[in-house]
Amino acid sequence: MQSSPLWYKDAVIYELHVRAFYDSDGDGAGEFKGLTNKLDYLKDLGVSAVWLLPFYPSPWRDDGYDISDYTGIHPAYGTLDDFKAFLEEAHRRDIRVITELVLNHTSDQHPWFQQARSSRDNPKRDWYVWSETPDRYKDARIIFTDTEQSNWAWDMSSKSYYWHRFFSHQPDLNYDNPAVREEMWNVMKFWLDMGVDGLRLDAVPYLVERDKTSCENLPETHAVLKFLRHRLDENFSDKMFLAEANQWPQDVRAYFGNDDECHMAFHFPLMPRMFMAIKLEDRKPLVDVLQRTPAIPAACQWGTFLRNHDELTLEMVTMDERDYMYDEFAKDARAKLNIGIRRRLAPLMENDRRRIELLNGLLMSLPGTPIIYYGDEIGMGDNIYLGDRNGVRTPMQWNGGWNAGFSDADPERLYAALISNPLYGYQVVNVESQRRSEHSLLSWMKQLIRVRKSTRVFSRGTMDMLQPLNHRVLAFVREFEGAKILVVSNLSSQAQAAELDLRRWKGTVPIEMFGGNPFPRIGDLPYLLTLGPYQFYWFRLRQL
Amino acid sequence: MRERRRETTPLGDLKLAETAQLSDDFIRQLSAVGEVDVLVGIPTFNNKDTIERVVRAVQIGLTKYFHRERCVLINPDGGSTDGTPEIFKNASVSDFEIMLTSNPLRTFHRVSAPYHGIPGKETALRTLFVAADLLRAKACAILSPASLSVTPEWIESLVRPAYRESFDFVAPLYQRQKFDGLLLKGLLAPVVRAAYGVRIREPIASDLGLSGKLARHFLEQNIWDQDVTTFGLEIWMTTTAIVHGFKISESFLGPRIQPAPQFGQDLPGTIRQVVGALFKCLEMQESYWLPRTGSESLPTFGFQYDVALEPLKLSTKTILDNFRSNIGQLVPVLESILTPATLVEIRKMIDLPDKQFRCPDELWVKTIYEFAAAYHHSAINRDHLLQALTPLYRARVSSFILQNTKAPAAKLDQRVEDLGQEFERQKPYLIDRWSAKAGGER
């Protein structure tokens, strides 16, 4: 695999859960050997990196985000050797690997916490945040509002309270302690030395706590990230940190620093607005959020996504917008979770292929590195009758046969029931059947990814938003090193006409990128385009 | 129970769109707007002093109460030369943003376009109805560009009953100074009440709400080249909504303040337009109202409150002098309109001293009904007939003011109600006169 310091800027990332992808040993859950078997599928899909959800030893009270050993592999997923083999095979296919690192907290089963709670004098005591009263840091909000009443939990053994921003079984590490910072760097180095290409840093805004603050985005937290980045740059040249900071763009901007903190950060506010724009049939939400998105250092990149392993978070929307999203996308109250909607892409789009395509078209053409959630490339459904976010983490549907081709185990033994309803069930929605059709969603996604990767304009280019009078049409021009791409999307369920002011690009000929057909040369007059329902065009603007 | 009309067919929509006269630029702007939920129209003609306030109130109202809906604000302008369209386009609410608890989720559209044809309300409203049809608006509000008292809450009051409560026609209900709107209280509303059986208090509103269905219905009527639309579109809209069984409600808007002309300023012109339109409607819609008896009140939205309004200063002496100096010359004309008995009663009023001057309800109602019947039978030239009503109206106004100068608001409301009942009581007389052969007994 070639060294490329900015590989993450041009990547198309595929997020998956090892447990959910492929079970090669028939125990009912996926593991690294199974994942390795399916790398050809990912290569064929065209993705350039995989992001793995946590695979560390864990009591699994938060699907692996409660880590009890940072340098091991959960036995259910295999061994370190299995992981190394997977890494090698992925790299052999030019697929980079991003792993999850939960910096903020551990499981309460982690030996560090077990030692810390064992005695107030234990050397590990100060690795966590303790208090005699639950009154400190009162200005910090509670994140998991459905399950937690406080950010403090009582520890019976040491008779004091410990701080947790997430579940009470996930005590926060104390980053004011230099030993913690040093140890977390050692954890990072362990995986990066092995060959891991990037680390997705979970819940970074919450690393440090201070009284009379929200305990989010504090300067001290940024100092921790700068420390870790400094160590990274000292030791490696083409590794990447990806920040998970569910904040407004102007707050997330700080996580890039001066290219001395994280290389990438998720653009959380953009995600719900893509859904909102299509439902409202109006570009306003997208234009607003893009206008509010600050510039970032040249080497940095936004991570953009439609869906992921969590709920469709609505923390970064206004109250009116949240109400609207709930009313439109969570008509069944079971779909609501915390401040969000736990549904996959296809059910959110009512299985409307045109809307699914348009959303993916937006994802692949807006600034940022797109991240595809496993199964969404075939339009998998979800199961809102499962608890927490497990409904969007069901087994991958490989074919219409036994257990959807996911596992040879008895169905009762699967870690989660397969989706089997008439609309999204594995008999209907699966990789094998879609591979056989040139017109399937899977085939279309492959083409979309191929076109996206055919140019660096999408991954690195500037963006000029156009303002056609028709508000249902989103149009912009991306430009990088002289290459220009015009993107025009109809957000509406009805055919639309749009007149575009393209005089800046007068004389160029728009070449439609999927079919290669030239369109009339751009002149002085408004450029008239008509678009079918939810249709979008990508044009390369060429001087011919 | 009035019969509800059926939904317009798509073919009907096409026909309407094909026959309308819209400029290319207006169509271009409308096509960019697309389908809407709420359309607000502000027809203008040289309203530079007040238009900005109205536009801002509409924008804030839509943001506060309809932030999810697809909204458009349309300004058909009759060719203003004072910069009204520019003020319309540039009116901003950015200084209000910090006070707004809602943000519109969608693009807010503002369309200003000059319309073809003679400047006037009928052309402007027709343009709005065509736009409502093309944009498939679910609810519309039409606002006067001259209102000084418009608030964002007017938008909710006028639109919500049509948008959410399935009403088709939402008439305003203003708090008025007790001697404001005397033509309305003393003639138009009670005649509509008695004839059509609906106690609508503002039958000639320049601020109102409509369902998209009713806007489309108005557009479909073969009326747009007739005088009634040229001079009395408001009364025609009200009575048409009643006659065709549309659901009607009232919404309380609070006080209505606008730069009003002095009493009597072009009173003959106003009477000719407004009362002439009412009589014309009676004529066109006689099959509906002739057999109708009794009246119904309307559901009213909004909390009715009182604020102290600056009293109107009206000089009954001037009005009475005007009546006395004109009535003598008009006796020959009145002889062709009124029955001898009525004319005798009127002539008796001339010599009454100012302080004792009275035009009783019974005489006033009889007079109006005889005028309506004479209009119907074209007893004389209709313009002359309506002109002859002006001095009698002055007499009635003077009498009303003299009688109620010290009356509290509640008492005045009762007097207006009494007059409405008198109009209803004498409806058989109207029917007799109306149905009698032209030139029959006077």
Residues A177-200 have pLDDT tens digits of 999 999 999 999 999 999 999 999
Asked if residue B242 lies in contact with residue B284, where contact means CB atoms within 8 angstroms, the answer is no
Tens of pLDDT along A6-51? Answer: 999 999 999 999 999 999 999 999 999 999 999 999 999 999 999 9
Confidence of residue B410 (pLDDT cuts 50, 70, 90): confident
Q: Is A468 on the interface with B (CB under 8 A)?
A: yes
Amino acid A107 reads: S
Residue of chain B whose alpha carbon sits nearest to that of A273: B105
Instruction: Give the single-character DSSP code of B186.
Output: I
Are the C-beta atoms of residues A487 and A537 closer than 8 Å to each other?
yes
Rounded to whole angstroms, the Cα distance separating A399 from B307 reads: 74
Is A470's CB within 8 Å of B34's CB? Answer: yes
- B16 phi and psi, to 5 degrees? -65, -45
Which tens digits make up the pLDDT trace of A488-499? 999 999 999 999
3-state helix, strand, coil in chain A (%, to 5): 30, 20, 50
Per-residue confidence (pLDDT) for residue A296, from 0 to 100: 96
Candidates A273, A284, A499: best to mutate against B (most CBs of B within 10 A) is: A284
A496 Cβ under 8 Å from any chain B Cβ: yes
**pLDDT value, residue B429:** 97
Among A280, A321, A469, the residue with its CB nearest the CB of B32 is A469
Q: CA-to-CA distance for B81 and B102, rounded, in angstroms?
A: 36
List strand residue ranges (DSSP E) for A401-467, in order: 462-465
Task: Give the separation between CA B272 and CA B279, rounded to whole angstroms.
Answer: 10
Closest CB to B107 among A276, A284, A324:
A284
Query: Nearest CA to CA, how far is B311 from chain A (Å)?
Result: 43
Q: Which chain B residues touch A281 with a CB distance below 8 Å?
A: 34
| CB contact A470 to B (< 8 Å) | yes
Inter-chain touch B34–A321, beta carbons under 8 Å: no
Going by pLDDT thresholds of 50, 70 and 90, the confidence category of residue B101 is low
Structure tokens given for A376: 């969404």
Are A322 and A329 within 8 A, CB to CB? no
The CA–CA distances, whole Å, from B41 to B27, B51, B153, B301 equal 16, 12, 16, 21
The position carrying tokens 């026609």 is: B169
Q: How far is B426 from chain A (nearest CA, A)?
A: 55
- The reported pLDDT for the residue numbered B365 is 98
Number of C-beta neighbours around residue B165 at 10 A: 13
Percent of chain A with pLDDT over 70: 100
B→A contacts (Cβ < 8 Å), by residue, are 28-29, 31-35, 67-68, 70, 102-107, 109
3-state secondary structure of B423: helix
User: Given this model, what pLDDT does residue A108 score?
Assistant: 97
Taking only residues 195 to 214 of chain A, the set having a beta carbon closer than 8 angstroms to any beta carbon of chain B reads none
Instruction: Give the list of residues 6+ apart from residue B308 with CB closer than 8 angstroms, or none.
Output: none
Q: Is the dihedral of CA B124, B126, B129, B131 positive or negative?
A: negative
d(CA A443, CA A433): 11
B-interface mutation test, from A469, A491, A494, most B Cβ less than 10 A away: A469
Q: What is the pLDDT of residue A534?
A: 98
Global confidence as pTM: 0.82
pLDDT of residue B8: 40
CB pairs below 8 Å between A and B: how many? 42
Q: Is the pLDDT of residue B335 over 70?
A: yes
- List active site positions of A: 202, 244
Chain A CB contacts of B106 under 8 Å are 280, 282, 284, 471
Continuous H helices in B285-436: 286-289, 316-335, 340-350, 361-376, 382-404, 409-425, 427-435
The answer to whether A324 faces chain B, any CB pair under 8 Å, is yes
Is the CB of B34 less than 8 angstroms away from the CB of A284?
A: no
pLDDT score of B232 more than 60: yes
Per-residue pLDDT at B69? 93
Chain A closest CA to B249's CA: distance in Å?
A: 29
d(CA A161, CA A131): 5
Whether the CB of A403 is below 8 Å from some CB of chain B: the reply is no
CA separation for the pair A276, A512 (Å, rounded): 27
Q: What is the ipTM of this complex?
A: 0.72
Query: Do the beta carbons of residue A92 and residue A195 sit within 8 Å?
Result: no
User: Average pLDDT over chain A, rounded to whole?
Assistant: 95
Looking at the predicted structure, is the pLDDT value of residue B5 above 50? no
Residue A492 and residue B34: Cβ atoms within 8 Å? yes
CB within 8 Å: A285 and B105:
yes
From CA B229, how far away is CA B214, in angstroms rounded? 16
Tokens encoding B250: 């009232």
pLDDT-above-70 percentage for chain B: 86
Provide, as residue numbers in chain A, all residues whose Cβ is less than 8 Å from the Cβ of B102. 320
**pLDDT attached to residue B94:** 65
Per-range mean pLDDT, top range of A199-203, B112-116, B265-269, B435-439: A199-203
**Whole-number Å distance between alpha carbons of A529 and A501:** 11
